[in-house]
Amino acid sequence: MDNLLSQALNKANMGMIIVDKQLKVVLWNGWLERFTGKGSEEVVGQNLLEVCPRFKLNMYLNILQNALYNGQSRFCSSALHKAFILPGEGEDQHFFKQNMHVDPLYEDKRSYALIQISDMTSTNTRVYKLKNLIKELDVEYNKIKISEQISKHLSLHDTLTGLPNRMAFNDRLVLAMNHAQRSEGKLAVMYVDTDGFKQINDGYGHDVGDQVLLETAKRLKENIRSTDIVARHGGDEFSIILSELKDSQHAENVAKKLAAAFEMPFEIADNHIYLSVSIGVSLYPEHGQESSMLLKYADLAMYRIKKNGKNGYAIFDAEKDHTR
C-alpha cells in the first residue's frame, strides 16, 4: 500500500510538500521534481526555507506556522501571489502562476503542514487570451456599429451639404404629419428652388457652384427654427417642413424671411454672386392628408412663381395651380 500511495503522490498533477514543525521537508513529490529539477533525495530533510526561498517572507511563514501550531488551513490565489515554487534554471520565473493550499496534518501527536501547489499558468493564459479576445471583439463590434451608423447617415443625408436627403425628408414629413394629426395642429411644406443656378455653375465652375449650394443650405437653416427641417431635395432644389404652425400667416412670414435672406450676394472666390429663390408652400391639413400631395402642391406653387418672374413665394391655390 505504501508503494501504491507513493506512486499516486508522484503521479499527481500538482506539487505536494509535507513539512514538520522545524520546516524540514518530509515529502517532495514527483511533480515538484519535474518542475524544479530537484530530486526528492536531495530535498527531503532539508529546511523548506532553503529549498524554496520565497517561504522566508513573513506572510508565508505565518501561514505555515498557523497550520503547524493552530491547525488553520489557508488558500492563496495565483491572482495575488503569482508563484510559490520556482521552476528549474532556464525557465522564465515571472511567467508561472500557482495556487497554494496549506492544510494541517497529524500523525502520532505530531503536527505537519501539507502544501499543495496547483499550476494555473495555462488556465491564466487562456483567461488572459479570452479577455483579449473579448476586448478585440468589443472593439470590432464598436467599429461595425460606427460603420453602420455612418452608412445609415450617408444613406439619409446629402453628401455635399450634410442636410437630410429626399428619402429622409419624406420619412420626417410623415412623422410630422402624424404628430400634427394627433395634436390637431398644422404644418407647412415648402419647396425651394434657386433662380439661375445653372448659369452660375456654367459661368464660375462646379467648385463655385458647390460653394453656392452650401451657402444656400446655410441661409435656409439660419432662417427657420431649430425644430423645423430643411433638406436637399436634389440638384439646386430644397424642401422645408415648418412644424407646429399657429396659422398660415406664420408660413408666409417664414417664406418672406427666406426670400429676403438671399438679397445679399454670396462672396465666393473673390466673386459677388447674386442668387434668388422661388418658394412654393402647401399647408396641412388644408391642402392634403398625404405627404406626396403636400410635396406636389408645394412644387406647383413654386412653379407658379417661376412662371411669374421668379424670386418670391406663393401659397398653393387649387384654382391657379391645378395644371402645370
Q: Specify which residues 82 forms β-bridges with.
A: none
The distance in angstroms from the start CA to the end CA of the chain is 109
103 is catalytic: no
Residue whose entry in the numeric block shows the C-alpha cell 444613406: 155
Do 173 and 189 meet the contact criterion of CB atoms below 8 Å apart? Answer: yes
Instruction: Report the distance separating Cα 114 and Cα 101, nearest Å.
Output: 8
Instruction: Report the distance separating Cα 261 and Cα 30, nearest Å.
Output: 91
∠ CA 237-241-246, nearest 5°, is 140
Q: Which of 236, 247, 270, 299 is catalytic?
A: 236
Diameter of the chain by CA atoms? 118
Instruction: Report the distance separating Cα 295 and Cα 233, nearest Å.
Output: 11
Active-site positions read 236
